[in-house]
A and B are shown apart, each in its own frame.
Chain A
Amino acid sequence: MPRGESSDGARRMINIVALSKTFGSGATAFTALTDINITIRENEFFTLLGPSGCGKTTLLRSIAGFVDPSSGSLTIHGDDILSKPPYARPVNTVFQNYALFPHMTVAENIGFGLEMLDRPKSEIRSVVGEMLELVQMTEMADRMTSQISGGQQQRVALARALAPKPEVLLLDEPLSALDFKLRKEMQIELKRLQSETGITFVFVTHDQEEALTMSDRIAVMNKGRILQVGGPKDIYDHPAERFVADFIGDTNFVTAEIQSLEGDTALVRLPSGRQIAARSAPDGAVSGPVTIAVRPEHATLEAQGALLDGLLKNIVYFGTDTHYHVMTQDGSTFVIRRQNQPDAAEDHKVGEQVGISFNPGVAQVLRD
């Protein structure tokens, strides 16, 4: 197998093995990253998703070279880059605050990387022109960066980082400073740029929706650890841990007990005594009490005597869908989301006894 090639055929780009980072020492030591292992593939839109302080930015900055990891290895195309300073790594960063040079024009900002690489003036001029066109900023070329809007600054920051044609583009919450509408536009724009340039994007965000809509794969992080890596659908439908299930979308947690396990299917017993097939968690429990997760839209409201029974406590109308809050026998609330049909009459009443049902294989057994 050639170097950098994984068994699934996609070429490996970044390989991170057992990476850890501790800031400070002694009693004030803070562990920002613990045993990080990821492989990022070529031409991939890879997202690091997690709440603030989860270590995602520290991980990104380790790739960029602004953070020196305490241990572990980090290779790009097989080259160890941890020993290299930021200016010798084949990566460029789009900073959260853009960090555009205020004493240069838009065009000078975009050309800066190539100028530092001592490329000929003619080449710089043509690449800058290309980049300006790519981000639709050609008319703004001679403006100072203080004379353009936030969204335009964002585009310039992107163009500046893309101009030297890095192997990897690192994006540190680049959309967080933009307003809602502009953010939606830029999400589509970023996807377009990624597919047009074919550059591997490593994107940091705390916005789960942003991660789901843009990424090829997502690594969910919390407290300096990677909890789960997978495609958006995989992460959403089959969260491995309670934190992942809770952080991404809405989830119902139900206590259950594993009866038997076959492959990745576990037969679980619900509090009602009924049994149903659920997806087991990799490296999860093989028997005994566990928590299972069920997405609100994956469950349906039935007559009493279903998988779980309970009292309908609340009906909340949201326009596109309606939420039913059911208090189950053990006192916890289970939410069911149903998409609304035009002019459909509400056939349930608050206070009635109802049942909850979901298909075999829908529920996900959580690791913790």
Chain B
Amino acid sequence: MPNGVRTARRRWLLLTPALVILLFAATGPLLIVLVYSFLTPGDYGGVVWTFSTDAWFNVVVERDFFDDTLSFADAHLSIFWRSVKLSLVTTLVAFIVGFPTAYFIATRPRETRDMWMLLIMVPFWTNLLIRTFAVMEIIRNEGVINTGLIQLGIIDAPIQMLFTEFAVTLGMVYVYLPLMVLPIYASMERMDFSLIEAGYDLYASRWRILRKVIFPLVKPGVVAGSILVFVPALGAYVTPRVLGGGKQLMLGNLIELQFGQGRNWPLGAALSISLLAIVMVALFVYVRSAGTQEGRHD
């Protein structure tokens, strides 16, 4: 047997466990979800094996319960819109907070950098629910901020922060921030800091150094961080559930609703696939635009 063939076979052998898991845990369930989205909902949840495109129809259109008139599914669309909007805001805020943080850590002496990274990572190792409830404790009407402001006499009545879009965004920024800091830090640490000196030497001001030297060099980290924050934020479930209090639903909550109380599995499946599609399109557009800027020559 030629050596090349043997190496190729061994390589496939090494890949087998990963492929099996991928097949059974990712591709398989995805196919089931896709199939369910074209079936009819059962009376008590589950599906009836009758082909129907109603679920896909219902993603965007609503049939009136009484007179069968059709209208846009405003509820769904507003949840879609809110999900995309809050995820984008979360990504942006995480970048604005995470970029200077990563820069700060990358410019510390080598011995102390690990300690700073540990501080970033510790919350990440804490249970998501606990972290979310911690945010709740801070912003609720009887929480730290409102109590403090009332005690100081700055406000008379508590500011309603919990169960708002603000609360959901704050929670998501807090939860996903390490995912932004980590890749930016990784590319910053690799950066040759003498390039910054070279920039200063060649008459670039601080702001221009940031824009013309540092940012282009750490852009791969920023792209990776943005994807790592945006994708899970779009499908977030716990944070909007706890901090949005059922009022600020996001896609994750809407999908859960269909599989639970809504007893409309096909609709839940169709919404899941829609979520996946949004992620794919967003990623495609984002990576394309980031990529073309990279190769730009002017």
On A, residues with C-beta under 8 Å from B are 64-66, 85-88, 91-93, 95, 97, 99-103, 105, 108, 112-113, 116-117, 142, 160-161, 164
Interface residue? B216 (CB, 8 A): yes
Would you give the shortest CB distance from B169 to chain A, in whole angstroms?
Answer: 33
Quick check: A97 and B192 within 8 Å, CB to CB? yes
Other 15 A-B pairs with CB < 8 A, given A113-B202, A116-B212: A65-B201, A87-B204, A88-B203, A91-B201, A95-B197, A97-B192, A99-B194, A99-B195, A100-B198, A101-B199, A103-B217, A112-B199, A116-B203, A116-B204, A160-B202
Known: A97-B192, A101-B213, A105-B297. A87 touches B198 (CB 8 A): no
Quick check: A87 and B203 within 8 Å, CB to CB? yes
B202, B216, B217, B294 interface centre (most CB from chain A within 10 Å): B202
User: Which chain B residue shows the least CB distance to A86?
Assistant: B200
Quick check: B203 and A101 within 8 Å, CB to CB? no
Q: How far is the CA of A65 from the CA of B297 in the complex (A)?
A: 31
Across the A-B interface, give the 5 residue pairs with the lowest CB-CB distance, nearest first.
Answer: A113-B202, A99-B198, A116-B203, A86-B200, A99-B194
Quick check: B217 and A93 within 8 Å, CB to CB? no
Would you give the shortest CB distance from B173 to chain A, in whole angstroms?
Answer: 29
Quick check: A112 and B192 within 8 Å, CB to CB? no
Provide the residues of chain B in CB contact with A66, threshold 8 Å.
Answer: 197, 200
Main secondary structure of the interface of B (DSSP, over half): helix
Q: Tally A-B pairs: CB < 8 A.
A: 64
Q: How far is the CA of A64 from the CA of B216 in the complex (A)?
A: 25
Set A92, A97, A103: member contacting B202, Cβ < 8 A: A92
Quick check: B201 and A64 within 8 Å, CB to CB? yes
Show 12 A/B contacts (Cβ-Cβ < 8 Å), sorted by A: A65-B201, A86-B200, A86-B201, A91-B201, A97-B194, A99-B192, A99-B194, A99-B195, A100-B198, A101-B213, A116-B203, A160-B202
Q: How far is the CA of A95 from the CA of B199 in the complex (A)?
A: 11
Q: How far is the CA of A102 from the CA of B214 in the complex (A)?
A: 11
On B, residues with C-beta under 8 Å from A are 192, 194-195, 197-205, 208, 212-213, 216-217, 294, 297
User: Which chain B residue shows the least CB distance to A92?
Assistant: B201
User: Which chain A residue shows the least CB distance to B205?
Assistant: A87
Quick check: B197 and A99 within 8 Å, CB to CB? yes
Q: How far is the CA of A360 from the CA of B208 in the complex (A)?
A: 63
Quick check: B217 and A102 within 8 Å, CB to CB? yes
Set A65, A88, A95, A164: member contacting B198, Cβ < 8 A: A95
Quick check: A101 and B195 within 8 Å, CB to CB? yes
Q: How far is the CA of A305 from the CA of B167 in the complex (A)?
A: 100
Q: How far is the CA of A100 from the CA of B198 in the complex (A)?
A: 8
Q: How far is the CA of A99 from the CA of B193 in the complex (A)?
A: 9
Set A85, A103, A112: member contacting B216, Cβ < 8 A: A103
Would you give the shortest CB distance from A25 to chain B, in whole angstroms?
Answer: 16
User: Which chain B residue shows the least CB distance to A170?
Assistant: B201
Would you give the shortest CB distance from B73 to chain A, in whole angstroms?
Answer: 46
Set A64, A100, A117: member contacting B203, Cβ < 8 A: A117
Provide the residues of chain B in CB contact with A113, threshold 8 Å.
Answer: 202-203
Provide the residues of chain A in CB contact with B199, threshold 8 Å.
Answer: 101, 112, 116
